[in-house]
A = this chain, B = another copy of it.
């Protein structure tokens, strides 16, 4: 593997320094480091150096990326979107392996080096999406880290056989088990939550539950998730994605929910949803010590054309939706798209310290806050020291 010497960059917007990458790790930081024979020398020209972006809530198995533009057709409700997706995907007959590889190239071009993807598991698709994404991830293991959540997109208790498939998915390598609106979709919160927590307990895997249910529906579900997290000793292993209810309950109720999240170290994912959808109050949760992360959600799929797989733009959207104008707010949004997701995924050696994996992104900006505000072109993207994208273009061979 080729070593690199990056001259004159600003790690997370700090003072200008050189950064030496050797054997895929950050080996040295300092002024005027000497180039070694064979080093590729990169002039960063004062660019920001960020750790690889982390897309910790994606659905890479069912993107329409790389296919002709598909006008959005789904109705407004969650159940409309689930039904529409099943119809469209059945018609198009796309391969999860090929589609996820297409999206991966886009993600790399934007500086994403780690992905947690929910992957559909259910009676219709069985484990086909899991196997497709696993094959893709194995093929691209040098370029990106992929963590798979076994995700019951069509419901759990309303679709008999799903729990068994989810458990089989975990046996076959999914590191996390998912859930979906135990009340709104299943109308059986006890059944769904007891089922998936039992699987997590048996296999020692993480849990990441999609919770779109708003107001009290969602709030009660948060309580039920917290109870099970505590009684099974799973603090630190559970996440709730979307958690719209945290943006749509009254302040006193929110206080109590935040305390539960904190006590049980339950992480919260928001991607700052489009439209008038409520979403968790990011700065307040952060100040109260709740771990936060973010992701693209579905990228150009039957759910929405509005997510485009760029995690620096996602950090911008979080800042924009939350009205963050100050540097700490802009940096909090960026933290969610980097360290927040990396911590969730348990990524070893993540970051900008000596000895960290050289998962690095060069961005033409002076400070971390400016990188979020402008989300400009990614000049260079490294995965464990290997150059995987330059000037916004992925360098991996196109598998299409």
Instruction: List the interface of chain A (C-beta within 8 A of B).
Output: 68-69, 71-74, 274-277, 300, 304-306, 308, 316-317, 319-323, 325-327, 330, 366-367, 369-370, 373-374, 377, 392
Contact = CB atoms under 8 A, between A and B. Distances in A.
Contacts of A367: 69
B323 A274 contact: yes
A320 B317 contact: yes
A64 to B, nearest CB: 11
Contacts of A327: 71-72
Contacts of A330: 305
Nearest to A300: B373
A326 B302 CA distance: 11
A18 B275 CA distance: 38
A69 B317 CA distance: 20
Contacts of A71: 326-327, 369
11 contacts: A69-B366, A69-B370, A71-B326, A71-B327, A72-B325, A72-B326, A274-B321, A275-B321, A305-B369, A306-B373, A308-B373
Contact of A276 (B323, B369, B392): B323
5 closest A-B pairs by beta carbon, nearest first, are A275-B323, A72-B325, A305-B373, A71-B327, A274-B320
Contacts of A370: 69, 305
Nearest to A323: B275
Contacts of A373: 300, 305-306, 308
A233 B325 CA distance: 41
Nearest to A304: B325
Given A69-B370, A71-B369, A366-B68, A305 B276 contact: no
Nearest to A72: B325
A182 B212 CA distance: 42
A322 B330 CA distance: 23
B317 A275 contact: no
Given A72-B325, A277-B323, A305-B325, 8 more contacts: A68-B366, A69-B369, A71-B369, A72-B327, A274-B323, A276-B323, A305-B330, A305-B373
